[in-house]
Amino acid sequence: MIEEMIMAHSILVKVFLGFLVGGIAIPFLTANNPLGFRKASFIYTMTFQALATMIAFTGVVAIFAGDLGWSFSTILMVIVWAALMYIEIKKYKLIKVANVQKESTFKLMRGAFVKISILQILLVVIMVVLKVLEAKGMISLG
Ligand code: HEM
């Protein structure tokens, strides 16, 4: 049960990373379609939150089912998770109120989308690398 949960958690993190990388295509694919960009970015945010919720769920279940407790490593994951969610909600609100019909604003929003995605990818990659190094016994996150 615990192994399955951690396995699901691990797979979901990789799916999430793939989703984040793939999402960078949105501002490019909709470069000539402001309303399409807005719509696609809303669907993107919904999918983002669904995947993030599943990651948190499998993580929390693993902690309680496995009686793993809250180590520094898991607290760090929760912090990274909360930061990812916070950034995504901010981005969602920004694109929601922006006048994307205005060319300069549209360009700004597309640029922000790409930069925010890169930041989120970095956060996930750093967390995954830390967990891999921890699993290999090269570092101890406590
Ligand atoms: C509420 C959020 C989260 C909770 C409660 C949580 C909890 C856990 C737990 C209990 C484990 C297994 C024990 C361990 O290795 O420490 C684990 C493993 C892991 N988590 Fe999380 N996690 C969360 C979010 C995240 C996020 C956002 C990421 C990536 C950015 C992440 C990446 C990983 C990785 C790479 C592993 C190792 C999987 C493996 O051993 O194959 N976790 N997490």
The reply to whether ligand 1 has any atom less than 6 angstroms from the CB of 73 is yes
The answer to the question of residue 141 being in a domain is no
Taken in order 58, 60, 63, 65, is the CA torsion positive or negative?
A: negative
> How many domains are there within the chain?
1
What per-residue confidence (pLDDT) applies to 69?
86
Confirm or reject: Cβ of 124 under 6 Å from ligand 1: yes
For ligand 1, what atom is nearest to the CA of residue 124?
30
Among 15, 74, 76, 141, say which to mutate for ligand 1: greatest number of ligand atoms within 8 Å of CB. 74
Fill in the DSSP letter of residue 69.
-
C-beta separation of 52 from 41 below 8 A? no
DSSP string, 77-140: HHHHHHHHHHHHHHHHHHHHHS-TTSHHHHHHHHHHHHHHHHHHHHHHHHHHHHHHHHHTTSS-
pLDDT tens figures, 18-31: 999 999 999 999 99
- In a domain? residue 140: no
pLDDT digits over 102-133, tens only?
Answer: 999 999 999 999 999 999 999 999 999 999 99
Question: pLDDT-derived band of residue 36, with 50, 70 and 90 as boundaries?
Answer: very high
The domain of 75 spans: 2-135
Q: Considering the entire predicted model, what is its pTM? A: 0.95
14 falls within a domain? yes
